[in-house]
Chains A and B, each alone.
Chain A
Amino acid sequence: MRSCTYHLSSSNMNAVQPNSVPQGLVTAWDTVTTALLSPDLDNAPSEEALSDHLDLLCRCGAGQYMEGWLLDTLHMNLTSAVAPEFWAGLKLQDGEEVQERRRARVLLQAFRTLLARLEPSLGGLEQIGRWQDEGRAGLSGPGAQSLSERAFTGIRAILLFSPPDLLHERMLEFLSRTFAVHMSQAGQAAPRREGEDEEEEAAMGTEGNVCQGCAVNPHDCWCKEALKLLRELSHILSRLQLLERVSSEAVTSILHKLIEQRMEQRCRGEYEISFLSDFQGWLDQVLGWVSRVFASEVDVSRMASSAAGSGGERAVGQPSSAILQRWRHHMQQFFCRIYASMRIEELFSIIRDFPESLPAIEDLKFCLDRTSQRQQLLTSLKTAFETRLLHPGVHTSDIITVYISAIKALRHLDPSMVILQVACQPIRKYLRTREDTVRQIVGSLTGDAEGCTDLANELSRADPVTLETQDSEDEGSDPEEWTPDPIDALTDKTGSKHRSSDIISLLVSIYGSKQIFIDEYRTVLADRLLQQLNYSTAREIRNVELLKLRFGESHMHLCEVMLKDVADSRRINTNIREEESRLPPEEQPPLALSAMILSSEFWPALKDERMELPAVVTQAMEAYTHRYEKLKAMRTLNWKSHLGTVTLDLELEDRTLSNLSVSPIHAAIILHFQDKASWSLEELSGALAVPQEVVRRKLALWQQHGVVREEAGGRYAVQETAPSSREKQDRSVLLMDSDEEGDSNTATQSEQREEKLRLFWAYIQAMLTNLESMTLERIHTMLRMFVSSGPVVTEMEIGELQAFLDKKVRDHQLISSAGVYRLPKSPHH
């Protein structure tokens, strides 16, 4: 549009002949331009005279030069005089007292002068624009709006092409001050909540009697003046259409700084309350200040209608809603970004504090929806996990606890579970490398682990997610309800519907197989049942039932048989007891023996330790077996002599120790001492058929009780009279750690695995001897065929097998070349 009118006018200009100057044209030009530039002069020409002159000018074709001339005058004036004057005015004279209030006034004064200098030209331009709009005297041109636009573009270009930092500094200082003033006034106006007052004051750093707004003594307070100055400044800037250019940057940086400051002060480390509404209220107050700064800025649409009018006509104090809207949006956006960044940084702590930190998670969720910081969150959280959690200094149970918290918190944060899946990948990977992970998880599932009841609660939740159904493909979800994954989702084989948020499924799937957990649980259950031996299984039955809901009936079958064994044993014991009680007194067994009778195929492998029990015990066991055989035809009992518990009383010369609960080997040892008061290690070891080292360790218990004493020559003897307290003290210190016992009755996982591998190795060697060389796959298939029908029913992953074979290669027991394995030529010994 503008360029079009420009061409028009320039072509007109060429048409004018320079040498045909009509009479009176010079006078007319002078009169009209003077009237335009200074309409208020005393000797202003009358309206008719002006019209006549204007007519003359237009007739001669000089009318269209006026606007060009005016713009040129304006720009030249600006470049040569006004702008330098403005910058000079902004500077303070040397030695002048540097006071904030003074600086604010100087700033305003500089703008006042600027306006005064430019006002005549601007007025002239407006006048000419009006004439053009009216089409007076045939005057044509771009019109008022376009003319002033051109003028202001020129002003902005010349004045602010490279503004010195000083202007920005001054604006920043002045606006900050008005902000403080505004906030303190708004704070006084609005009824403030308890406690906030003090906080605010503390934040402002007030020392007794200092005005909160302008930070000087109350009697020097210039709050009102500051606001007045602001109003005028805003007005001037708006008149010059410089408001946005000059203030925006300062306003933006003030807002950013203050939001950040406030957030640091109030929100950091505080997760238990939501700050969204608090900040919303605060931002509304701040918006009041923004509206003051931009009080005189006009709407673009309104500018069109009132462009011709002078600034004074515009409604002061009512900035256009569009501008405020923009600022509100800007603040909102900035708040969300800063807040989200801070929470992301703190996310690890927030997760650790979950569920107390739920408000913080909610806030973060709100902000994340409005900013694109998911990637930042993922990276930061992953790093936090790796540096703070996944190192050898953290106990496995703590890692699991944090992981559970993370599951709970993140599924709240992101219902699509993508963040959960991606961010927790390192935890899962790391847990896989910890040996006691399974034991910890199973322990907390059954409520054994100290302080970790989350999983036990989770297990007894009302609507368990069956682990089985997760594997099935045909989940009848409505295709209409399908929503695409967020872009940061992992592109792996598990689709969105497999992305589980169930804590137990997630934990169990760490290893990709639930069998390992079931085996571990079986071991734990066996330990528990064998250790307590009181036949009360209510809790275990409940756990097994709950686990059945999760893992499926068939997998828990073995455990059910174990529990049934306990119940059966109790019945058989009662039965046998009854039978015994009917015997005449002299045939009553010397030992009250009861038994836990196991179905060996269904229990985990028990540690195989042999031990000779004293005759009195073996006789009782034989009698018991005898009665059992009568009760259950064609069945017999194999006693595990080292398992069980014994309750006994010890009667010594001067004291009695009663109701000691010890293991069978301890009981056997002390029974031997009953027969003979002094034993050497070799003798005991021989009598018990147990290695000397074990006997020595077991003896420690009796030494601690002060019943047995080690004498010179390596012999042990009963101590019939209590040792002096001093002696006792020495002893207990000495023997503190001597009864360290492997607390599990079952062979450990690694022991069982080793056993399995030894078996495999025998097969592999035999295969390779016959077939010379085989590929990994072939070995795997063959093993599956042979071994699974053997006594040890086991499965072996191909990866596990490869690791095993590679280890053998490293040990030079196997050769691997060109993808096949073979035995070394000369067998390695």
Chain B
Amino acid sequence: MKVKIKQWNGVASWSWVANDDNCGICRAPFNGCCPDCKVPGDDCPLVWGQCSHCFHMHCILKWLNSQQVQQQCPMCRQEWKFKE
């Protein structure tokens, strides 16, 4: 007997490769989106800092904008630098 697969339609869910489930700022899941967004994924991406913490991009930008003096990671208080 020979089985010839013509088409395999699979189902998968995507997820961010991150070391946590939830955004440390908005507490919403990374796989969802930040409170200001409606659509996850490309429209509400994650960013990583050099300290290896990651957040919803919109969340961390909002946080950084609100910091007057120094721009620190809200988790570890190190200076925030985007990971290249």
A residues neighboring B (CB under 8 Å): 530, 533, 557, 560-561, 564, 568, 591-603, 617, 620-621, 624-625, 628, 632, 634-641, 643-653, 659, 664, 667, 670-671, 673-674, 677, 707, 718, 720, 789
Contacts and interface: CB of A to CB of B under 8 A. Distances in A.
A135 B3 CA distance: 130
B5 interface: yes
Given A646-B7, A667-B5, A637 B31 contact: no
Nearest to A653: B1
B6 A592 contact: yes
A596 B14 CA distance: 10
A617 B8 contact: yes
B14 A632 contact: yes
B25 to A, nearest CB: 15
Contacts of B10: 593-596, 621, 624, 639-641, 643-644, 664
B41 interface: yes
| 6 smallest beta-carbon distances between A and B, as pairs | A643-B11, A601-B32, A600-B13, A637-B12, A651-B2, A649-B4
A320 to B, nearest CB: 81
Contacts of B17: 634-636
Contacts of B38: 557, 560-561
A603 B4 CA distance: 32
A601 B2 contact: no
Interface in B23-77: 27, 29, 31-32, 38-42, 46, 48
A634 B45 CA distance: 10
Given A600-B31, A632-B14, A632-B42, A594 B9 contact: yes
B30 to A, nearest CB: 9
A598 B13 contact: yes
Nearest to A652: B1
Contacts of A634: 16-18, 46, 48
The SS class assigned to the A binding surface is mixed
Contacts of A620: 8
Interface bracket on B: 20 to 34
B15 A640 contact: no
A743 to B, nearest CB: 16
B67 to A, nearest CB: 25
Contacts of B9: 533, 594-596, 644-646
A639 B11 contact: yes
B8 to A, nearest CB: 5
Nearest to A649: B4
Contacts of A557: 38
Given A591-B5, A637-B15, 5 more contacts: A634-B17, A639-B12, A643-B11, A651-B3, A674-B2
Contacts of A707: 1
A781 to B, nearest CB: 21
A620 B27 CA distance: 35
Nearest to A674: B3
A597 B12 contact: yes
B8 A649 contact: no
A653 B1 CA distance: 7
Interface of B: 1-18, 27, 29, 31-32, 38-42, 46, 48
A720 B6 contact: no
Contacts of B4: 648-651
B14 A598 contact: yes
Question: Main SS of chain B's interface residues?
Answer: strand
A276 to B, nearest CB: 57
A670 B46 CA distance: 42
B5 to A, nearest CB: 5
Given A561-B39, A602-B40, A597 B14 contact: yes
A671 B2 CA distance: 9
A594 B7 contact: yes
A56 B41 CA distance: 129
Nearest to A568: B41
A78 B66 CA distance: 117
Among B3, B11, B40, B48, the most chain A Cβ lie within 10 Å of the Cβ of B11
Contact of B1 (A591, A600, A638, A720): A720
27 contacts: A530-B11, A594-B9, A595-B9, A595-B12, A596-B12, A597-B13, A598-B14, A599-B32, A617-B8, A620-B8, A625-B12, A634-B48, A635-B15, A635-B16, A635-B17, A636-B17, A637-B15, A638-B15, A640-B11, A644-B9, A644-B10, A648-B4, A649-B6, A651-B2, A653-B1, A673-B1, A718-B1
B14 A636 contact: yes
A786 to B, nearest CB: 14
A593 B39 contact: no
A90 to B, nearest CB: 95
B12 A667 contact: no
B1 A674 contact: yes
Nearest to A634: B17
B78 to A, nearest CB: 21
Contacts of B46: 634
A674 B17 CA distance: 36
B76 to A, nearest CB: 20
B55 to A, nearest CB: 13
A598 B9 CA distance: 13
Given A564-B39, A634-B17, A596 B5 contact: no
A596 B6 contact: no
Contacts of B5: 591-592, 646-648, 667, 671
A674 B7 CA distance: 17
Contacts of A652: 1
A561 B15 CA distance: 15
Contacts of B16: 634-635
A670 B3 contact: yes
Contacts of A638: 12-15
Contacts of B2: 650-651, 674
Given A648-B3, A674-B1, A600 B15 contact: yes
Contacts of A671: 3, 5
Nearest to A600: B13
B3 A599 contact: no
